[in-house]
Amino acid sequence: MRVGFGFDAHELVGGKRLILGGVQIEFEKGLRGHSDGDVVLHALSDALLGSCAGGDIGMYFRDDDGKIEGIDSRRILEFALQKAHESGLKIHNIDLVLVADRPKLSGLYDAIRRSMSECCGVGERAVSVKAKTTEGTMVGKDAIACFAIALMDEL
């Protein structure tokens, strides 16, 4: 078994769609990013790459590459899943912690869990999603962060 850890955070800004775990969320702001800004998929992709000592997503998806501007972060996750698979690993389970003061995310756990299950090819019981607020002490009201851990089995 191997474990990988990932983290990502992006600022909330106007004029963007809010996408978390591949799920579009109704909110007046979205996440700034070179891609669609999906912090859940970015953190999980880094966790998957970490499990196979594959670096981080910035090594493969540079924020100065105009060809990938606005990329759907599911493509980044697919790449990380492929790298893990090529290293002889498959997902045992993943644990995701979203950090946001707004919007409130607790009502979205099931939708994000279903999306992650489908994207990763694992059962919903293999995906844990939870959210925490910081009461303005860490991320504040203008950003969303995600921590991800992936426990991996050898093929």
Mean per-residue pLDDT, 3-32: 97
**Distance in angstroms (rounded) separating the CA atoms of residues 145 and 140:** 10
Summarize the confidence of residues 4-17 as an average pLDDT: 96
Residue 147 is inside which H or E element, if any? strand 143-154
| pLDDT value at 31 more than 60 | yes
pLDDT at 27: 97
Q: How many Å apart are CA 23 and CA 57, to the nearest integer?
A: 20
Helix axes 109-120, 73-86, angle to 10 degrees: 50
State yes or no: pLDDT of 123 exceeds 60. Answer: yes
Q: Which residues pair with 149 in a beta bridge?
A: 5, 95
Secondary structure of 51-91 as H, E, C letters: HCCCCCHHHHCCCCCHHHCCCCHHHHHHHHHHHHHHCCEEE
N-to-C CA span, the chain: 10
Q: Each residue of 49-103: pLDDT tens digit?
A: 999 999 999 999 999 999 999 999 999 999 999 999 999 999 999 999 999 999 9
Q: How confident is the model at residue 141 (pLDDT cuts 50, 70, 90)?
A: low
pLDDT of residue 140: 58
pTM score, whole prediction: 0.96
In the predicted model, is pLDDT for residue 139 greater than 70? no
Mean confidence (pLDDT) of the chain: 95
What φ, ψ does residue 29 adopt, rounded to 5°? Answer: -130, 160
Q: Which residue has the tokens 């775990």?
A: 21
Residues 104-114, mean pLDDT to the nearest whole number: 96
- CB 88 within 8 Å of CB 154: yes
The b/e string for 28-46 (b: 16+ C-beta within 10 A; e otherwise) is ebbbebbbbbbbbbbbbbb
Poorest-confidence range of 72-81, 111-120, 136-145? 136-145
CATH number for the domain spanning 100: value is 3.30.1330.50
- What domain count does the chain have? 1
Residue span of the structural domain in which 134 resides? 2-154
Q: Which helix (H) or strand (E) holds 117?
A: helix 109-120
